[in-house]
Structure 1
């Protein structure tokens, strides 16, 4: 539960200052304090009455740690969006990363304690205690950035299970964005940031008016962030990372093409080559990373209006309406072909003979060849991917004070989100194949269907100089491809549009049952009705040519409704007035909630909590809870379509996988396989296979469950004014997490080993058809390789069980030293002591202090953010130290192989990734006196002041827009030194 105690000024200061410190600000206790108004106070008072993590109004939450970010914190962080603000909290999984572009694993939602990610997201994100509409084209998750920064009063992070209050999704905890209740006046903030080959601008404002019985305000934000290209950062565009302790990520897709000739060992690196090189990843010559983007450009604009009014001394209504528009634009890299067969004179293939055919100089008699080719165009226009999101969100709260003790409240939240992810003029591989060998097949087969399960064969015969493709010469004036064929190469379009609608209605009763010696016994009871509708519309290529003439269209529809009952009891056992020795105060809390889902059944989740202050200024706290996450609708899959779902697919495996020989002895028998002493690499040009990722309905997926407890201490010693500290030991168990297992997890874990099938003599057509689930309506994306040597099943399932333990800590000391001013020093950290998991009930193993084994979340052991601050006469300077400890890279591409035990679970190995230390500086001046500029602020904010590159990471966190080879996008920021200047005015 979030919030802070109202029993005594000392306890109030503990939580307020410690929470502010953890957010790394010099915010005052008054800024971040969370206090309940006296019963005699007007309902429309500016004092907050929202208590996060508790259903009881105005009662201090019991047993849980609070991390709170208030107004002064927001000023000193100078965030472009609220994600950037939350990423300053060490307990958030993506702390230290860049808050730009969509994180495909969690949309824009923050996640607490790395407790899974992707479709098994376990952190509930809410606004003013109410749910947000789902968004994105992956897992229907929330985007808190729809709320203007200027409307935020504070952000609260609860790192405890909270399903007893909120229902689904709160296994790891809750992040609650609390908006201002009222505002009087006008405030605006404009800033511009600059880094090497990167810039951003941001403007936000709020205008409000109060009257005797209420008030109204309007707030808005506009942000524009430029893209960042791989080639503008050395660490992301080297291609060959072997000199830096990594691997060669270069490709055989080159312009002109690289060639494999029948009967000749190795690869000709160009048509003029007279000799070959071994066909291994180490010899790949072409660095194609220089064409991609590190970060997409992003634009966002939103506006919010909020009105509150007392219609009598008993009845108050508050209403809010919010609109958000967000876009990202990402320039695409050039496309290409890998291992495509092409026929020349003497091949007896008739109309399939390419008129531009060139045999390699080292094999002049070759009548056919296999080429890998990169389609580099003179204008370098390779299309773009774009995402869009439109959101309408509204809430209404009606409160009726029955008497001095009881309040009846009705709350309604409605949200609608349209999210789209589109490809515009992307590479058309089918178009290139049709112009290369006259078919839509890599093999050049004229009898293989282009749409698996249907007898559809696309042909472009006979090949002539007008319709053929020349891959043996670059597009530099010597290439002989016609203009029409060149234009056709980038005519692939796709669209994935999701519509999410929800409505949450709550009716609850709050009040005091009777008085105990220590105070009033308080209770909250209520009911909730929640419904969701989700529609996904997806259009893409059907592998027969450009999408203008050959495309497929899918629609997925999902509905869900939830009926809930909940109750909470607050029991004051001992109060300070009772003067009990070694028991300054003792409070207990019990809560429980029952949820009935229309599609996954019912669940009941309790929580028990206690606070004990043996003496004033020392509080011991603890809690135990059960929680759950309902399986996301969109990953269940559509049974009428073979359990396909929007972000899943069946198609060609596109990644290289290091397969342990001990786990798969047959892998060494695959023709052309490259092996070392312990592993063989599949997914290479010579060894291709298929991958499927069907929905959880295919694997009988069920709900996800959580069990958690925590114990902590808060300190505010009377003998040391200005000092506060809080430490929490947490234990969280996550059972049956919904996940699409990574290839690394599959090949290295005994519980998942059966999900990879090796076919040394190639997989049969019957095996392929069954694997693709064609008989039940699924389809294959892309062309099936001519020889399939492996089948890997990454279908969504209840695959993951986690046990996570650790310490959240923070301390702060603030002191005024004479004429020198006020100094603040402090730190906030998260330190994992245990991070263990298993798959499917297999043997448990540790992934503590690693990243990459689970591709959707890291488990780095230590993160810390410290602050040193000074303020005097309106001038302030704050230095922040952001530290991420050293850890092991356990992605499948690590140079040092992951070592496994006798049952295949990882026990060691992997590359060591260095620790990361980034320093930020915020300088600010606030105008004093009585002039018109009183309260105005000018500031300079410098992030990563020493312009330090991220630690080298031999892998690619590809699920994050902005992820690239060479750094870990979960915990590192690729922008470098970013200096922003800003002006904040108040009227």
Structure 2
């Protein structure tokens, strides 16, 4: 049997004659499969006919004990048959159909513009990664880690593994650090690959939406013999770019005007603002003067209303991407007691973003007008596009030995090595050089054009050859040994134990900067590494089972697990976990667990890989209290964190599962979860006037009672390079510390805390009919509480302040008839409150987002060439529903909240040989 609720519906489809179709997961997970997920904790997934493995040999995610589900946990399993029948083309899209995943009812995407590249990573419980550079949901491949990806992050990419390679996917949405170590706070997602495969399957899909095309092809083949199997799979996928101008709901507007207009001054033609904030050489060092707008008309500033525009219209809404993925595996029984496995994967993905025209704000003076600032863009010179190219490449290889030791004891040892490489490049503007070129007359800030003089053309050539480059490389190698087996027998079964040890080495290097093409090689590389040594164990105690069941105790299992990890850069951490699974009857299960988990700071978030910079500005710039006249703030920013420590969580959950024998076809599940996540890595809001009350540990004030000394200042900025210290004129403040108002730390730190609780639920029903079958289901997540602190001494902010979406639900209704399957899926993302402001027309809430999808499959039950041939038709977002409107920018886009490609229609075909 299976733990995956999709399987109930797929079994119906198989009885109706629908074979596995290679259906793009962008629609398959949301439209072909039921959205509800359920779990029977007393069972484990069986192997498929193509990969026969004994149930007793299966290790389920969340436990080290073979042959049983993790005690007290709510586990969801997708089997190889499910994956084959769904025809998944992008593994991340399967997770996007989970209401408990942050990508629910949207489309995960990669390739953001600049160094802040994104990857498709699972994010359960809506905890995210914060500013830590890693993820609070742990992604595994066959129980081991994948190399990270990115320039400012080291999260693994779930789409690095092609779906045709998978035997099953396990999801455990609770703390798992007692078993796996770091990052398993919100949950664990384990991609488990095939061991054996015999045959060949090919498939392809083609789909379109407005101004958008997507297609993919895939092939999986293998050969099995008496004591082994060799298999390989390949997938290629491509889709076009969508710009904001292609979707009318993407509007970055100023809602204080009637009608709303663009909110940017960086237009073409641009604007000139005279007056305003002026820095002087005498106290108070700056003054506010009246600001006068001068829109540019034919290259001349003319007093009047400003030219306003939406400069985001030509930028990317959904990046273009092309991806090659391949994976292969070898499984050989070397003897009756020893089995050798090796798997290897490779993925290369390239994406393209358009940042639109390059903008500038330059200090300028126009004859007869006060000094001010010129706002514009360089489209008159360089055109309306600035394309950024992102490349993500990752690979890994893992050999493993499994040895049967006798008496049902087993040892498993593996070595895992992998690398992830990310790069971003685009045209860039040397803004300081552009200011100098404007000062010299080589560039005209009022027209966006370079002069036709020799100096102007030299400036144009310089800027044309100036580029931005960011790279990140993550390398991991780790070995692990686990021994497990029975200790002794109880009336309820064998008491089983698993113990093991692991060593992991990770190295990360990063480059980030801008230079002429000929000087890109001079951008410095920063590297850091760590070694983690771990010991762990788990005990499972069955007090009752079918062998000694009693009234009210059909089965009862207790478990305890623990793990100790020692990091070479910040020391050790211990994490326990306890669980219970109780079945009063054969159809009713009660379960619960409690444990500690942690998220380690990523190597990409440390000062060793993101060097510390020093900023100096007048003390009253952000509203510092007290006497600020003539004094300055020395701020460490930007840069990575110093002396970061693990982010720690306490997690617990209780739940129940029903599958009543007296209502055939009905199953239901309900889980309550609670997470307290402390020491989260975040950035202090140094620009906030409340900084001094909110972040008492992030600054040192210079007071009469405790005056700063030169030695204190020197020690505080010791992580900054001498070049940057000289540029900030540090010697001035060392010579006269009285000029310093405060030393402030704007780097990432262990500051924040989040406390959340909620309910996961699902109900599913299926019924055979004379013509085939009908089925229906609903699943969802409801967040009961979500509170956050910016620091340990701050007040908690609740649901509204965090703009939390409480409801996420997915409902399905469908049926089969002969060779056909038809289905409608309704995905709903609930609304939430927002602070009403004049800038957003006093909007107080974001509305619900409702998407309806249709899916049809046809598989003729005939022989010959049509045997095992399947056709699919999918319509995603049938009513072409736009996301709910938001009169402002809320992190997920200007003018809207949510994501949709629009109405998307796709055809698919697959064939097995």
Does residue 215 (structure 1) correspond to residue 229 (structure 2)? The answer is yes
Q: Distance in 2 between matches of 1:138 and 1:732?
A: 26
1:532 equivalent among 475, 488, 506: 506
Over 3 Å counting, the alpha-carbon distance change for 1:16 and 1:222 in structure 2 is: closer
Aligned partner of 1:307 in structure 2 is 330
The reply to whether residue 834 of structure 1 matches residue 785 of structure 2 is: yes
State which of 360, 371, 374 in structure 2 corresponds to 1:337: 360
Q: How far apart in 2 are the matches of 1:539 and 1:478? A: 30
**1:479–1:187 Cα change, 3 Å:** farther
Q: Measured at CA, do residues 340 and 42 of structure 1 come closer, stay the same or move farther in structure 2, by a change above 3 Å?
A: closer
- The answer to whether the aligner puts 1:695 opposite 2:695 as a matched pair is no
| SS of equivalent residue, structure 1 residue 402 | strand
* Residue-by-residue CA offset, 1:150-205 (whole Å, 9 max, x unaligned): 11233222111111110111111101112222221111221122111122111122
Name the CA distance, whole Å, in 2 between partners of 1:917 and 1:494. 40
Give the Å deviation of 1:17. Answer: 4.8
- 3-state SS, counterpart of residue 377 of structure 1: helix
CA shift for structure 1 position 47: 9.3
Consecutive unaligned residues of structure 1, counting only runs of 5 or more, are 1-8, 278-282, 343-357, 360-364, 439-462, 639-643, 671-687, 760-765, 853-858, 898-909
Matched, 1:85 2:97: no
* Structure 1 equivalent of residue 768 of structure 2: 816
Moved more, 482-491 or 513-522: 482-491
Mapping for residues 270-669 of structure 1, pairs under 5 Å? 270=296, 272=300, 274-277=302-305, 285-342=308-365, 359=367, 365-366=368-369, 369-377=372-380, 380=383, 382-423=385-426, 425-438=427-440, 463=441, 468-473=442-447, 483-541=457-515, 546=516, 548=518, 553-638=523-608, 645=610
Please report how far the alpha carbon of residue 591 of structure 1 lies from its aligned counterpart in structure 2 after TM superposition. Answer: 0.9
Distance 1:211 1:105 in 2: 44
Q: 1:320 to 1:47 in 2, by over 3 A?
A: farther
State whether residues 763 and 778 of structure 2, in contact with CA within 8 Å, keep that contact through their aligned partners in structure 1. yes
1:67 to 72, 76, 98: 76
Q: Is the 8 Å Cα contact of residues 239 and 288 (structure 1) preserved in structure 2?
A: no
- Helix, strand or coil at the partner of 1:432: helix
Q: Return the match for 1:860 from 794, 802, 805.
A: 805
Q: Provide the rounded CA distance (Å) in 1 between the counterparts of 2:53 and 2:795.
A: 53
Correspondence for 1:720 among 636, 641, 663: 663
Aligned length: 853
Q: Deviations over 1:218-269 (max 9, x none)?
A: 1111111211111112222453445799895322454244342698741111
Distance 1:948 1:743 in 2: 40
Cα displacement (A) at 1:536: 1.7
Query: Equivalent residues in 2 for 1:151-162 (5 A)?
Result: 151-162=165-176
Q: How many Å apart are 1:76 and its aligned residue? A: 7.2
Point out the more displaced range, 27-36 or 70-79: 27-36
Query: Does the 8 Å CA contact 1:650/1:772 hold for their aligned counterparts?
Result: no
TM-score of the superposition, structure 2-length normalised?
0.84
- Assess, with a 3 A threshold, how the Cα gap between structure 1 residues 863 and 986 changes in structure 2: closer, same or farther: same
TM-score between the two structures when normalised by the length of structure 1: 0.78
How is 1:87-126 mapped onto 2 (pairs within 5 angstroms)? 87-102=96-111, 104=116, 107-120=119-132, 121-126=135-140
Q: d(CA) in 2 for partners of 1:208 and 1:30?
A: 32
**Equivalent-residue separation in structure 2 for 1:980 and 1:213 (angstroms):** 41
Alignment partner, residue 922 of structure 1: 855
- Alpha-carbon RMSD across the aligned residues, in angstroms, is 4.2
Equivalent pair of 1:600/1:630 in contact (CA under 8 Å): no
TM-superposed deviation, 1:499 = 1.9
1:347 is aligned to: none
Per-residue displacement from partner, 1:406-454 (whole Å, max 9, x unpaired)? 111111211012211222x22332332222103xxxxxxxxxxxxxxxx
Structure 1 distance, partners of 2:11, 2:848, is 26
Measured in 2, the distance between the counterparts of 1:791 and 1:965 equals: 36
User: 1:340 Cα shift?
Assistant: 1.5
Unaligned 5+ runs, structure 2:
13-27, 277-288, 703-709, 730-739
- Give the Cα–Cα distance (whole angstroms) in 2 for the partners of residues 571 and 550 of structure 1: 60
Distance 2:451 2:857 in 1: 57
Which residue number in structure 1 is paired with residue 867 of structure 2? 934
764, 771, 796: which is aligned to 1:845? 796
- Contact kept? 1:851, 1:891, Cα under 8 Å: no
In structure 2, do the counterparts of structure 1 residues 516 and 777 end up closer, same or farther at CA, with 3 Å as the change threshold?
same
- Superposed counterparts of 1:218-297, under 5 Å: 218-242=232-256, 249-260=263-274, 265-270=291-296, 272=300, 274-277=302-305, 285-297=308-320
Q: 1:256 to 1:249 in 2, by over 3 A?
A: closer
- Picking from 879, 894, 903, the partner of 1:965 is 894
Checking the alignment, whether the CA contact within 8 Å between 1:893 and 1:954 is kept in structure 2 is no
> Contact (CA 8 Å) 1:50, 1:128: kept in 2 or not?
no
What secondary structure, in the 3-state scheme, does the structure 1 residue paired with 2:309 have?
coil
* Alpha-carbon distance in structure 1 between the residues aligned to 2:806 and 2:371: 54
Distance 1:23 1:225, change over 3 A: closer
**Structure 1 residue 79: Cα displacement:** 4.7
* CA offset digits 1:292-349 (Å, max 9, x no partner): 211221111011111111122111111111111111121232223214224xxxxxxx
The match for 1:735 among 675, 678, 684 is 678
Contact map agreement 2:224 2:230 (CA 8 A) in 1: yes
Pick the structure with more strand per residue: 2
**Separation (CA, whole Å) in 2 of partners of 1:108 and 1:77:** 19
After superposition, the Cα gap between the structure-2 partners of 1:147 and 1:222, relative to the gap in structure 1 and judged at 3 Å, is same
Helix, strand or coil at the partner of 1:85:
helix
**Contact 2:109 2:118 survives alignment (8 Å):** no
Separation in 1, partners of 2:102, 2:149: 20
**Residues in 2 aligned to 1:771 and 1:254: alpha-carbon distance in whole angstroms:** 47
Instruction: Out of 312-321 and 381-390, give the one that drifted further.
Output: 381-390
| Offset, 1:816 | 0.8
Supply the distance in 1 between the matched residues of 2:521 and 2:51 (Cα, whole angstroms).
Answer: 61
Q: After superposition, what is the alpha-carbon deviation per residue over 1:543-585, rounded to whole angstroms, capped at 9, x for unaligned?
A: xxx5656996222111111111111111110112324111111
Contact 2:487–2:496 (Cα < 8 Å) also in 1: yes
Larger mean CA deviation between 615-624 and 485-494 belongs to 485-494
Contact 1:815–1:823 under 8 Å retained in 2: yes
Deviates more, 1:182-191 or 1:948-957: 948-957
Q: Deviations over 1:252-287 (max 9, x none)?
A: 45424434269874111125554345xxxxx66132
